[in-house]
Structure 1
Amino acid sequence: MILGHDHARATVPATSANLGPGFDSLGLALALHDELEVRVVDGPGGVVTVTGQGAGEVPDGEDHLVLRALRLALDHVGAPQPGLALTCVNRIPHGRGLGSSAAAAVGGLVLARALLADPAALDDDTLLMLATRLEGHPDNAAPALLGGATVAWLDTDDDTGPHAPHAVRVPVHEDVVPVVLVPTERLLTQHARSVLPAVVTHRDAAFQAGRAALLVEALGRRPDLLLPATEDRLHQEHRRPVMQDSLAVVDALRARGVAAVVSGAGPTVLALGRRTVVDGTGADADQAVDEVLRDAAGTWQVLHPAVDQAGARSWSVA
């Protein structure tokens, strides 16, 4: 495989995984984007320039996740590994449960696709496989790559070795309006996972399966069912000790009828409001969010990203 271009750009969206009951399977792409640009340069290795989120914190060379993903994709198709200059304009908060690492992985992969003479060699199935290899699971990578809401799964779920990931898009009703509440505190995904129990009861598992199935219907056709459809018994309550402020906000919003959940591994809170203004500028969650945050602990940034229907995009630059 040869490179057909020496300059490419990409955009990749933030994502929110789980959405309550869809643990490690459901995800939603949000219109909050990192922007990436790569150029082939003389000499070996890579140099990374980062502005925005993570600037001064993430690696500036070959260890940078976008660059690692890009090189993984080139290696997968047998393409050469040139010197690379990568620029990242990051808008997705890090360590907040909004899929920043998945965005970096997917971003590097689609940049590689844009550099190839034959982009079809890196189709979406291949990129999802590579992203899952980097991430360990496809729940954030799938919506980052495909856009919209997705259900992702692995061929099997055991410890015998790697298994192929798959994902399908599910419809999102036009009246579903995400509201994202981002705290200043961060939380490592590994820490959030460490507090989860190894075993759950049959009763809770059955409850969770029913709510996850209902959530697909609520997202696509019945937004009026979002509140019961986002009930969870598998992970959120177990994580309360490491994100008490976030769960307090979730509780307060749900008490007001808003379908609020922890976004991914947290500590960001995602509220799935319903459109109330014809021009799309209002949601029924807005007043409840204002009321709850007046009394909430900590400092919160409120974002109103639309559902990103396009997913990651990349293109070569002449």
Structure 2
Amino acid sequence: MTGVRVRVPASSANLGPGFDALGLALAMHDVVEVRRTGGGLTVRVDGEGAAAVPLDETHLVVRALRAGCELVGHRPGGLAVRCANVIPHSRGLGSSASAIVAGVAAAYGLAGRELTGADLADALHLAAEFEGHADNVAASLLGGLAVTWAEREPGSARVRFRAARVEPHADLRPVALIPDAQSATHVTRGLLPATVPHADAAFAAGRAALAVHALTADPALALPATADTLHQDYRESAYPATLALVRALRSSGVAATVSGAGPTVLALTTDGVLPPGVDLSGFRPLPLPVDRAGVVTTPLT
């Protein structure tokens, strides 16, 4: 084996009330190839972000790859990394999470280790540490719908990120509405209050639980299940057009949410069709089936 090829899906996090807890894998894929060389590092990027990302050790895929290699105790020597990017950057579709997952998965692949059992749990935790939360990385890693949480390790102050994969309903047909504008997670997180009213927290808990049921067993409940009180309205100043479209779609009966940190809107439909009369100006609708496989790693010979 001279290297590995990693195919990793996009993701949409939060899904309304599931802030930092729910993530859905979407069938839009970045592909990363990592080959062993005689020495040094080369990085090539094609597609999304090609003119903006670094081409050295600071590239996010490379940083995650190095961290993964350290975790598994593998020293690959020289590397040639090639990224074919399709997932839009800074749009709320998990581009950074997919890069992190690609790097970590490549490290395990180069070491000849499969992402199963304890290795899968360790890879998830490492990727979530990079991202700061687990919802996007878990969806890209596991596919389907990811339910994530963090817990303190017994006798330690360390937090361990964990996830459970559940199977989305077969009728689910997401549509992403992607604007030209970008957003930055650190900026939109800065708009969130330090505390929220108890009633809002209780509302979110009930709707997040309902969202898992709706997205796996009864999509007819997706509209009430995706109602949010925790984060979307607080971020309106960062992307007013996004919130206006979310509200217009929901008023028309579509379970629409801000995708991750935005500004993309995710419409959770069962037919892939958006209602007529809703103004989509400034947004490009793109049907994106659920990705059920998650990250896929294959050897290069």
Match of 1:267 in 2: 263
Q: Tell whether the 8 Å contact from 1:71 to 1:81 is kept in structure 2 after alignment.
A: no
**TM-score, with normalisation over the residues of structure 2?**
0.95
* Secondary structure at 2:20 match in 1: strand
* Secondary structure at 1:307 match in 2: coil
Match of 1:312 in 2: 295
Distance change (3 Å), C-alpha of 1:287 and 1:118? closer
- Structure 2 matches for 1:84-163, cutoff 5 A? 84-119=79-114, 123-156=119-152, 161-163=157-159
Distance change (3 Å), C-alpha of 1:118 and 1:183? closer
Q: Which amino acid aligns with 2:299?
A: S
Post-superposition offset of 1:161: 4.9
2:277 corresponds to 1:291: yes
Distance change (3 Å), C-alpha of 1:291 and 1:82? farther
Q: Unaligned stretches of 5+ in structure 1?
A: 276-282
Distance change (3 Å), C-alpha of 1:10 and 1:211? same
Task: State the alpha-carbon separation in 2 of the partners of residues 107 and 254 from structure 1.
Answer: 34
Post-superposition offset of 1:76: 1.1
Q: Tell whether the 8 Å contact from 1:75 to 1:81 is kept in structure 2 after alignment.
A: no
Q: Unaligned stretches of 5+ in structure 2?
A: none
2:38 corresponds to 1:55: no
Identity of aligned residues (%): 49
Post-superposition offset of 1:77: 1.7
Task: State the alpha-carbon separation in 2 of the partners of residues 136 and 207 from structure 1.
Answer: 25
Q: Tell whether the 8 Å contact from 2:72 to 2:111 is kept in structure 1 after alignment.
A: no
Q: Which amino acid aligns with 1:20?
A: G
For residues 280-312 of structure 1, what are the alpha-carbon distances to aligned partners after superposition, in whole Å with 9 as ceiling and x for unaligned?
xxx3xx242x53235x4xx22211111000000
Post-superposition offset of 1:216: 0.8
Match of 1:249 in 2: 245
Q: Which amino acid aligns with 1:125?
A: A
Task: State the alpha-carbon separation in 2 of the partners of residues 196 and 81 from structure 1.
Answer: 42
Q: In structure 1, which of residues 70, 78, 90 is the aligned counterpart of residue 73 of structure 2?
A: 78
Q: In structure 2, which of residues 205, 226, 230 is the aligned counterpart of residue 230 of structure 1?
A: 226
Distance change (3 Å), C-alpha of 1:50 and 1:76? same
For residues 103-123 of structure 1, what are the alpha-carbon distances to aligned partners after superposition, in whole Å with 9 as ceiling and x for unaligned?
000001111111113446982
Task: State the alpha-carbon separation in 2 of the partners of residues 118 and 192 from structure 1.
Answer: 37
Q: In structure 2, which of residues 194, 198, 201 is the aligned counterpart of residue 205 of structure 1?
A: 201
Q: In structure 2, which of residues 16, 25, 29 is the aligned counterpart of residue 20 of structure 1?
A: 16
* Secondary structure at 1:140 match in 2: helix
2:171 corresponds to 1:171: no
* Secondary structure at 2:149 match in 1: strand
The alignment yields a C-alpha RMSD, in angstroms, of 1.6
For residues 65-119 of structure 1, what are the alpha-carbon distances to aligned partners after superposition, in whole Å with 9 as ceiling and x for unaligned?
1111111111112211411111101000000010000000000111111111344
Task: State the alpha-carbon separation in 2 of the partners of residues 161 and 61 from structure 1.
Answer: 34
Q: Which amino acid aligns with 2:167?
A: P
Q: Tell whether the 8 Å contact from 2:115 to 2:123 is kept in structure 1 after alignment.
A: no
Task: State the alpha-carbon separation in 2 of the partners of residues 199 and 118 from structure 1.
Answer: 42
Post-superposition offset of 1:316: 1.0
Q: Tell whether the 8 Å contact from 2:175 to 2:267 is kept in structure 1 after alignment.
A: yes
* Secondary structure at 1:22 match in 2: coil
2:23 corresponds to 1:37: no
Post-superposition offset of 1:187: 0.4
Q: Tell whether the 8 Å contact from 1:47 to 1:62 is kept in structure 2 after alignment.
A: no
Distance change (3 Å), C-alpha of 1:33 and 1:118? closer
Distance change (3 Å), C-alpha of 1:120 and 1:212? closer
Q: In structure 2, which of residues 57, 64, 76 is the aligned counterpart of residue 69 of structure 1?
A: 64
Post-superposition offset of 1:26: 0.3
**TM-score, with normalisation over the residues of structure 1?**
0.90
